[in-house]
Structure 1
Amino acid sequence: MGLLLLLSLLSACFQPRYAPTWDSLDQRPLPSWYDEAKFGIFMHWGVFSVPSFGSEWFWWDWKGAHDQNFIKDFMKRNYPPGFRYADFAPMFTAEWYNPLQWAEVLQASGAKYVVLTSKHHEGFTNWPSKYSWNWNSVDNGPHRDLVGELAMAIRNNSDLHFGLYYSLFEWFHPLYLKDKQNKWTTQDYTKDVGLAELYELVNAYHPEVVWSDGDWEAPYTYWNSTNFLAWLYNDSPVKDTVVTNDRWGSGMLCHHGGYYTCSDRYNPGVLQKHKWENCMTIDKKSWGFRREATLADYLDMDDLVKILAETVSCGGNLLMNIGPTHDGRIVPIFEERLRSMGKWLQVNGDAIYATKPWRAQNDTRESGVWYTSKNDSVYAIVLDWPNSGQLTLGVPRSSPTTTVTMLGWAAPLKWVAVSGSGITVQMPTASSNQLPCQWAWVIRMKGVM
């Protein structure tokens, strides 16, 4: 027992400590679970889910922007004169919110982590923050700790890592507006709200993803970002497992932080030097739920599998967003997409989870083919079934030990080498309902160069 204690103390002594500088913080290795996960679910939920019109930027479009008359017209048609945004909060009821059911749907999606909005730019906190009196989900609206309930359900009923989105700024907070007017020479909002809430969140809920946003107006020195990250990496309860993004101040995108997001829906299509994430949303026009959305506004499974393949092949993670309703439901179209992704990953997960980029990301001869690799296997994710039944790949070079199979298909596939470079694969002769999946198919090759 004494020896174990001594070894533990010695290990703690030799753990690196990170200084509150970007030079130091950027040296921290990304915890391995994140790169292996590849696929996560984003959830935008807040008071904006009540009007559920336009987007989650409803309040800003109504009161902050000067050219969004469609929001003003919506309010005139549907709400009485004098109605304030704060009047939406009691309507954020979440009476159908069942964290256990959410956890089951998220687990079924095949995702390995989830990131829930703890606070968006409107400032309403989905936990009982003592720094947001009467503008939080326990004092107002649902009268429930929405963050805490989902954190418990995820940890007790799934294998997902739990993460939280947090907006550093609030559109209309008087302390923030005062600091902005003072050109960031004062930090009253950061000290009394922004940082205080961040420390509160991490200590209370132990998120393994801290997904920062709302940083772009002010420099990182205003947000005290490097001091917070040094604490997060050195002394917080999640110091060994937490990952962070790159949204910690103006000019930080794609330059500093844990993994890079670079922009919303970032999908470069080429291999990146730094670990990155493609955060995107199934509803092409909004991150929050919209009542006016039409079927054409939602990405279909062909779209989603394509984006997943492109992202993972180029070394990224996909964070796919849905927007729950004000009453706490994941609507059927979102649930269908999540469960369908899970079914595809049940068959083809070997080509996604814990993979590494191969020497080529996509094929030179056949469009719509993206590559990943793991150990001695190379995976070709084929987005479109070849009309001829033969798939000719221009990148792989065969060897005497080459074997070719399809994930979810029992029999090996016949193939021949192509003169110069490449192979031609004979795809299975089968009806669509006999194939292992509907949307994209994965060819696994061993013994190729």
Structure 2
Amino acid sequence: MARINGLIRRVAVVSVSALALMGSGAAAQSNVPDYEAKVETKLNEIQAGIASGPFKSDWDSLREGYRTPDWFRDAKFGIFIHWGVYSVPAFANEWYSRNMYVPGNPAYEHHLKTYGPQSKFGYKDFIPMFKAEKFDPSAWVKLFTDAGAKYVIPVAEHCDGFAMYDSDLTVWDAADMGPKRDVVGEIAKAARAKGMHFGLSSHRAEHSWWYYMGRTYDSDVNDPKYAGLYGPAHRTGLPADAPTNWPDSGQLQNWMPPSKAFLNDWSARTTELIDKYSPELIYFDWWTSAPVYEPMMRDTAAYYYNRSKARNEQGIIAYKGSQFAEGSALFDMERGKTDALKLTPWQSDTSVSVHSWGYAQNDTYRTAPSLIADLIDIVSKNGNLLLNVGPKADGTIPAEITTVLKGMGQWLKVNGEAIYGTRPFKYFGEGSTKSGQVRVGGQVEESAVKGFGPDDIRFTTKGDNLYAMGLDRPKDGAVLIKTLYAGNPYLDAPIKSIELLDGGKITWQQTPTGLKISLPPAGDGAFPYALRIRTN
């Protein structure tokens, strides 16, 4: 009988609270004065913005008018920032906000053991602990510029529903709670003061279903007082091109599209970010590839591109699904790369930390040499590297990340001419390392890419210079670049001179089997090397 009564209480909690929360998107924001009017104003602004500029809300217009600007093509290297309330528990990864409500998930068990039941201590209760007392955006930007990065993209709102900017459409934001600072605005100001380009990322589309599992038992997700944070918490399905290893993918197959109110809220918040912060790049997460978002993707792109055009800029939208027509925006590959040279610019994003995008205790970290090798590989194929960092809850960047960024910066100060402002060579490179399993669109999963070997060479060009970069410096210094054999069709004239950018002395000989080069010997953990090659 006790078990039956418990089940009845559970069903009652879920059904009553779900009806209260899911019936109206506006109800979830009832604590914002004039919320409905503010959303309606933004929706009207979108249509007026589309009508006022050259970009229209159709794929032909967007494809015809969009061009990736030269600043992005020259920059090559940017910094991504995942920072939010999830950095307080700092357990496993930035999906803690969802996973803590999923029975059987390690985060769920960790939460029960550490903080108590989700009905008594929910995700909302981490917000007062998210004080960011050591957050110094100028210090962050100095580290990023010292690392050689040319642009920065903080996550303005992750899937957890807590905005990291000063929003007029919710009080669940960093300006009103937690740090009580406009984090995105402060980063934008500091970055622009140092000449960095500024963009932002929105993951809000996932929020419609993010907390659904908290509906299935007694948790604070079912309390209407917190609807502004936990949102609709709908049961929903995955977009067709979402990764198969997403958490709870088996529980999310029954498609239930977001309500019209939620979609309107998404459009209004996205427009708010565009208008308040004038980002040069916006990065949308996976869920906007769901079919219901297609008209909004066209409207958002047209509005944003027209707003950018009015400032004599070309805005960039980065996407990683199939929600944009090819040529209308910038394709991004999350924790992956292309296996070939792409004719159009693209971007790869990965993280210094291996297991999480946000800060997590006991994570492991990449090395500077391995990330430089990735950067070279990506740039040789006409791409940019967006490298993520996950700061701690107090606003400090972990020492492991700082060390990696400084190491990358030291290499780029010496070898940056082979990276910045370059364009692809006629052939991206050579080598025996195989890319691994290729996904749709030519994307190679990062986990499938093994470490590079001494025969893996990549090329870039700038002006009259050809750059050849070895991704793994051989210990004995012996290099053979097969592509540049004597009489090869890739060079318009014979090689005149070759210099090692780090200043070491080399000898070289162009033979019928390849370009033979002798480098100074290198020890373990050596960085990739870069050669400047000039022809007559």
**Bin for the TM-score computed over the shorter chain:** 0.7 to 0.9
Cα offset, 1:215, TM superposition: 2.1
1:385 to 473, 478, 488: 473
Cα offset, 1:402, TM superposition: 2.0
Is residue 55 of structure 2 the alignment partner of residue 18 of structure 1? yes
In structure 2, the residue corresponding to 1:51 is in which secondary structure?
coil
Check conservation: 1:40, 1:115, Cα contact below 8 A.
yes
2:297 to 198, 207, 225: 225
In structure 2, the residue corresponding to 1:277 is in which secondary structure?
strand
Is residue 509 of structure 2 the alignment partner of residue 422 of structure 1? no
Query: 1:3 is matched with which residue?
Result: none
Instruction: Check 1:225–1:440 CA distance in 2 against 1; reply closer, same or farther (3 A cut).
Output: same
In 2, distance between residues paired with 1:240 and 1:116? 20
Query: 2:214 is matched with which residue?
Result: none
For 1:322, the aligned partner's letter is V
RMSD value, Cα: 2.7
In 1, distance between residues paired with 2:429 and 2:510? 19
CA shift digits 1:290-341 (9 cap, x unpaired): 0132xxx211122211111111111111011110011111111111111111
Check conservation: 2:350, 2:388, Cα contact below 8 A.
yes
Query: 1:177 is matched with which residue?
Result: 234
1:333 to 373, 376, 400: 400
Cα offset, 1:175, TM superposition: 4.5
In structure 2, the residue corresponding to 1:278 is in which secondary structure?
strand
Instruction: Check 1:16–1:367 CA distance in 2 against 1; reply closer, same or farther (3 A cut).
Output: farther
In 2, distance between residues paired with 1:223 and 1:324? 35
For 2:421, the aligned partner's letter is A
Check conservation: 1:232, 1:238, Cα contact below 8 A.
no
In 1, distance between residues paired with 2:366 and 2:301? 35
In 1, distance between residues paired with 2:258 and 2:94? 30
Instruction: Check 1:426–1:167 CA distance in 2 against 1; reply closer, same or farther (3 A cut).
Output: same
Question: How many matched pairs?
Answer: 417
**TM-score (structure 1 length as normaliser):** 0.86
Query: 1:284 is matched with which residue?
Result: 354
Instruction: Check 1:239–1:21 CA distance in 2 against 1; reply closer, same or farther (3 A cut).
Output: farther
For 2:456, the aligned partner's letter is G
Query: 1:116 is matched with which residue?
Result: 154
Query: 2:534 is matched with which residue?
Result: 446
Query: 1:103 is matched with which residue?
Result: 141
In 2, distance between residues paired with 1:318 and 1:210? 15
Cα offset, 1:386, TM superposition: 2.9
Unpaired runs of 5+ residues, structure 2, are 1-51, 212-229, 238-253, 433-453, 487-492
Instruction: Check 1:400–1:142 CA distance in 2 against 1; reply closer, same or farther (3 A cut).
Output: closer
Query: 2:430 is matched with which residue?
Result: 363
In structure 1, the residue corresponding to 2:331 is in which secondary structure?
coil
Is residue 182 of structure 2 the alignment partner of residue 145 of structure 1? yes
Instruction: Check 1:253–1:16 CA distance in 2 against 1; reply closer, same or farther (3 A cut).
Output: closer
- Counterparts of 1:157-196 in structure 2, within 5 Å, are 158-169=194-205, 170=207, 171-172=210-211, 173-175=230-232, 177=234, 183-184=256-257, 186-191=259-264, 193-196=265-268
CA shift digits 1:187-227 (9 cap, x unpaired): 21121x21111111111111111111142563254661111
CA shift digits 1:61-111 (9 cap, x unpaired): 122x4541x112211221133111100111111000011111111110101
2:497 to 403, 410, 413: 403
CA shift digits 1:329-372 (9 cap, x unpaired): 11111111111111110011111111111122222586222111
CA shift digits 1:228-247 (9 cap, x unpaired): 11011113465613211125
Higher helix share: 2
2:67 to 7, 18, 29: 29
For 1:414, the aligned partner's letter is T
Kindly, what percent of the aligned residue pairs are identical? 29
Instruction: Check 1:260–1:153 CA distance in 2 against 1; reply closer, same or farther (3 A cut).
Output: same
**TM-score (structure 2 length as normaliser):** 0.73
2:275 to 199, 203, 210: 203
In 2, distance between residues paired with 1:61 and 1:257? 35
Cα offset, 1:26, TM superposition: 2.1
For 1:232, the aligned partner's letter is Y
Instruction: Check 1:381–1:179 CA distance in 2 against 1; reply closer, same or farther (3 A cut).
Output: closer
Check conservation: 1:246, 1:257, Cα contact below 8 A.
no
Check conservation: 1:207, 1:238, Cα contact below 8 A.
no
Unpaired runs of 5+ residues, structure 1, are 1-14
Check conservation: 2:455, 2:480, Cα contact below 8 A.
no
Q: Identify the range of structure 1 (361-370 vs 81-90) with the bigger mean alpha-carbon deviation.
A: 361-370
Is residue 131 of structure 2 the alignment partner of residue 74 of structure 1? no
Cα offset, 1:168, TM superposition: 3.4
